[in-house]
Amino acid sequence: MRTRPDAGARVGLSDRGSATVEFALVLPLVLVVVLGLVQVGLVVRDRLLVEAAARAGARAAAIQDDPAAIGDAAMIAAPGLDAGRADVSVARSGSRGDPVTVHIVYDDPFRVPFIAWLLGSGVTLSAEAAARQEFG
């Protein structure tokens, strides 16, 4: 009885080839998921920065009336944000002891290249904070 010496080698090559094909099919999906997770992390970080900017803006608005100084204080509290993409508005009611509200709207662009191509330009984040006026 004669056996073929390369029969076992062919089975190993066949398994290796199918594993390579499976890896090539799954790799793009895994990369998209990983890139999506990175982008979600960046958006969450920017959301926290927008909230911190609103709180800092409300603290500044409680002690002064200058809109430029309030906007500067808000953007200083959020160093990772682009000030050109932020819109800071202040709403006052009454005088000393009454609330002042700072509302920030930020256009957050997608920074992960493939995700930006897949989903579009970005998202709009907003936050609002209030404090009591200490002057007036």
The whole-model pTM stands at 0.81
Q: For residues 90 and 102, is the Cβ–Cβ distance under 8 A?
A: yes
Structure tokens at 86: 């932020």
Q: State the pLDDT at residue 12.
A: 56
Q: For residues 110 and 39, is the Cβ–Cβ distance under 8 A?
A: yes
pLDDT exceeds cutoff 60 at 7: no
Q: State the pLDDT at residue 32.
A: 92
Give mean pLDDT, residues 91-106.
Answer: 93
Structure tokens at 60: 């500044």
CA dist 65 and 62 (Å) reads 8
Q: State the pLDDT at residue 3.
A: 59
Strand (E) or helix (H) holding 26: helix 7-63
